[in-house]
């Protein structure tokens, strides 16, 4: 039985939610393994829109087990609200259908405050974070002072954890001119939210390993995109977690050998939210048209996404670092009607040609893309459900992408709707 990892292969918002929802019909368990509610995954099912941030996209299909793994950072108050919102859309969420790893770190209000206070400092270049406390929570995890889900069960442990955390944050907050944290108020708030979270707490590593031995299929749902990875992304303009496929193992507690197929989600052009280098970014009418046709506004913050041509150099690189076996190419329909399309095939830097994005920040900011021009198509691909429905020029564009990134297309998406998806190779096939 195959277990599949889905990862974003660009800067996020590639359409992971739609593809995970589509694939989850074939899976028994859907597990998030990193990130938090900085993610925004949109699903459209028969015209109804579901926006998921902390919950795995699998919750929308009944009868599946959804899992929040230890690699995630979880804001318990946000989760309670998100569960209520999704329930109001008719989705059943119970401790039988949702499990949260007991060793998951919690995002507290002080993390969001710190995130936003740092972003508003004028002396340092902004990252353009979502302001949801993701970075500060991961810092505290690695700093061995974070409050975890299991700590909510015992008042004495909870108080000890909060005290340890506040020694560190007290000093930080004084430096930033933030008011002192009300210790007793924080403990009271955590004690109040605890009974709403604890029913879902479980030893996820054990449950997943048991499911695996029973031959159940696990679908791992990544958030963000490989270019936002803390190690391999455009540092420091990245998120604070490992985003690439290897994280699926450490972020849930299964061995790396349990991953049978890595599916990279790739948008047919490129977008980015927040600050940082973006070699193929467009500032002209083409860029505006991509943004308008693609409705490129952030699901989480509503910010306008920056848009540009497809960058094959970047995707070849991210397919390598995640060991991508096949890609799902999304939003091909957004390119309908362009007379010409450009694909970046390499970079030029100081008179030299590069076949990868350099690591040094100043070089990342200075590379200029080398383009190949392709003929566009006037027919529509929107809503296409088979290869036969695609115009010849669209097929050529897809084939050229496969060649340049050295990875085959397994799925193709032609609209936000669940069923407007073309299956080429089933990632779950044995
Ligand atoms: P995610 O963060 O990777 O899950 O992606 P988002 O949900 O943030 O952004 C992708 C957006 O594109 C969502 O609004 C989707 O409904 C939409 N979408 C997904 N696939 C397609 C597609 O093939 N065509 C079009 N036009 N929209 C799509
Ligand atoms: P999904 O899962 C796109 C970006 C932010 C910012 C940087 C750091 O929907 O693809 P953070 O709040 O994580 O510390 O912000 O990362 N970012 C995303 N961009 N899609 C996402 O998630 C993102 N999650 C974070 O805009 O540039
Ligand atoms: Mg998104």
Q: Average the pLDDT over 251-280 and give the result.
A: 97
Where do the domains of the chain lie, and which CATH numbers do they carry?
A: 4-103+202-258 (3.40.440.10), 109-197 (1.10.300.10), 266-423 (3.90.170.10)
- CA–CA separation, 217 and 430 (whole Å): 11
Shortest-distance ligand to the CA of residue 331: 1
- Report pLDDT digits (tens) over 372-423: 999 999 999 999 999 999 999 999 999 999 999 999 999 999 999 999 999 9
Query: 236: cis peptide before it, omega within 30°?
Result: yes
- CA–CA separation, 249 and 294 (whole Å): 33
**DSSP of 329-366, one letter per residue?**
EE-GGGGTT-SEEEEEEEEEETTEEESS--SSHHHHHH
SS3 219: strand
Residue 32's pLDDT band, with cuts at 50, 70 and 90, is very high
Nearest-CA residue for ligand 1 atom 14 is 42
Closest by Cα among 160, 159, 157, 149 to 198 = 149
The answer to whether the beta carbons of residues 384 and 410 sit under 8 Å apart is no
Q: What percent of the residues of the chain are helix, what percent strand, and what percent coil, each to the nearest 5?
A: 35, 20, 40
H or E element that contains 19: helix 16-23
All residues at 6 or more sequence positions from 214 whose CB lies less than 8 Å from its CB, including other chains: none
pLDDT at residue 316, rounded to an integer: 98
Residue 35's pLDDT band, with cuts at 50, 70 and 90, is very high
pLDDT at residue 124, rounded to an integer: 80
Residue 298's pLDDT band, with cuts at 50, 70 and 90, is confident
For residue 430, pLDDT beyond 80: no
Two tokens, residue 326: 């096949």
The answer to whether the beta carbons of residues 261 and 4 sit under 8 Å apart is yes
Q: Average the pLDDT over 274-289 and give the result.
A: 97
Residue ranges with strand state E in 223-286:
261-267, 270-272
Who lines ligand 2 at CB under 6 A? 8, 11-13, 38-41, 127-130, 132, 134-135, 223-225, 228, 239-240, 273-274, 299
- CA–CA separation, 138 and 311 (whole Å): 30
pLDDT at residue 205, rounded to an integer: 98
Distance 301 CA to ligand 3 centre (A): 10
For residue 179, pLDDT beyond 90: yes
- Report pLDDT digits (tens) over 155-176: 999 999 999 999 999 999 999 9
**Residue 13 is a catalytic residue:** yes
Distance 395 CA to ligand 1 centre (A): 20
All residues at 6 or more sequence positions from 218 whose CB lies less than 8 Å from its CB, including other chains: 3, 4, 27, 28, 29, 30, 31, 208, 211, 212, 254, 258
- CA–CA separation, 75 and 72 (whole Å): 10
pLDDT at residue 156, rounded to an integer: 98
pTM over 0.95: yes
Q: For a substitution probing ligand 2, which of 6, 19, 37, 38 has the most ligand atoms within 8 Å of its CB?
A: 38
- CA–CA separation, 332 and 346 (whole Å): 22
Q: What percent of the chain has pLDDT over 90?
A: 96
Q: Average the pLDDT over 14-19 and give the result.
A: 98
Distance 294 CA to ligand 1 centre (A): 8
All residues at 6 or more sequence positions from 412 whose CB lies less than 8 Å from its CB, including other chains: 328, 329, 330, 332, 384, 398, 421, 422, 424
Nearest-CA residue for ligand 2 atom 25 is 38
Two tokens, residue 108: 């507290």
Residue 210's pLDDT band, with cuts at 50, 70 and 90, is very high
Q: Considering only 84-88, 152-156, 297-301, which range has the smallest mean pLDDT?
A: 297-301
pLDDT at residue 1, rounded to an integer: 57
Two tokens, residue 318: 């991210």
Q: Average the pLDDT over 300-326 and give the result.
A: 95
For residue 131, pLDDT beyond 80: yes
Burial 350-368 (b: 16+ CB within 10 A, else e): eeeeeeebeeeeeebeebe
pLDDT at residue 138, rounded to an integer: 98
Pairing label, strands 368-375, 270-272: unpaired
Options 21, 37, 41, 420, the catalytic residue: 41
For residue 300, pLDDT beyond 80: no
Mean pLDDT score across all residues of the chain: 97
């Amino acid at each position: 039985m195959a277990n599949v990892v889905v990862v974003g292969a660009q800067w996020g918002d590639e359409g992971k939610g739609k593809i995970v929802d589509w694939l989850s019909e074939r899976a028994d368990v859907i597990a998030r393994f990193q990130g938090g509610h900085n993610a925004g995954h949109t699903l459209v099912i028969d015209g109804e829109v579901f926006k998921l941030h902390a919950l795995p996209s699998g919750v929308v299909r009944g009868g599946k087990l959804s899992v929040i793994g230890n690699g995630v950072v979880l804001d318990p108050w946000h989760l309670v609200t998100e569960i209520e919102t999704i329930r109001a859309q008719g989705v059943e969420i119970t401790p039988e259908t949702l499990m949260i790893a007991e060793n998951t770190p919690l995002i507290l209000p002080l993390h969001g405050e710190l995130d936003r206070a740092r972003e508003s400092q004028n002396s340092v270049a902004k990252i353009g974070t979502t302001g949801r406390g993701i970075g500060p929570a991961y810092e505290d995890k690695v700093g061995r002072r974070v409050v975890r889900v299991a700590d909510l069960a015992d008042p004495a442990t909870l108080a000890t954890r909060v005290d340890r955390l506040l020694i560190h944050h007290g000093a930080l907050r004084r430096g930033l001119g933030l008011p002192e944290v009300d210790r007793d108020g924080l403990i009271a708030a955590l004690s109040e939210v605890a009974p709403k979270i604890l029913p879902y707490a479980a030893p996820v590593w054990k449950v997943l390993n048991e499911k695996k031995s029973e031959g159940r299929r696990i679908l791992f749902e990544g958030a963000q995109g490989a270019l936002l990875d803390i190690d391999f992304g455009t540092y420091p303009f990245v998120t604070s977690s490992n985003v690439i496929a290897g994280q699926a193992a450490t972020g849930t507690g299964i061995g790396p050998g349990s991953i049978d197929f890595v599916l990279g989600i790739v948008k047919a052009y490129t977008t980015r939210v927040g600050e940082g280098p973006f070699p193929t970014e467009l500032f002209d009418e083409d860029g505006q048209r991509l943004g308008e046709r693609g409705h490129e506004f952030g699901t989480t913050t509503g910010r306008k996404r920056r848009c540009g041509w497809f960058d094959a150099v970047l995707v070849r690189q991210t397919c390598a670092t995640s060991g991508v076996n096949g890609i799902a190419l999304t939003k091909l329909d957004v390119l309908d009607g362009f007379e010409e399309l450009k694909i970046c095939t390499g970079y030029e830097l100081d008179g030299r040609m590069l076949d990868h994005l350099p690591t040094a920040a100043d070089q990342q900011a200075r590379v200029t893309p080398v383009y190949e021009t392709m003929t566009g198509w006037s027919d529509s691909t929107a809503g296409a459900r088979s290869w036969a429905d695609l115009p010849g020029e669209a097929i050529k564009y897809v084939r050229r992408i496969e060649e340049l990134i050295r990875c085959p297309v397994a799925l193709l998406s032609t609209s936000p709707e669940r069923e407007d998806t073309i299956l080429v190779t089933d990632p779950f096939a044995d």
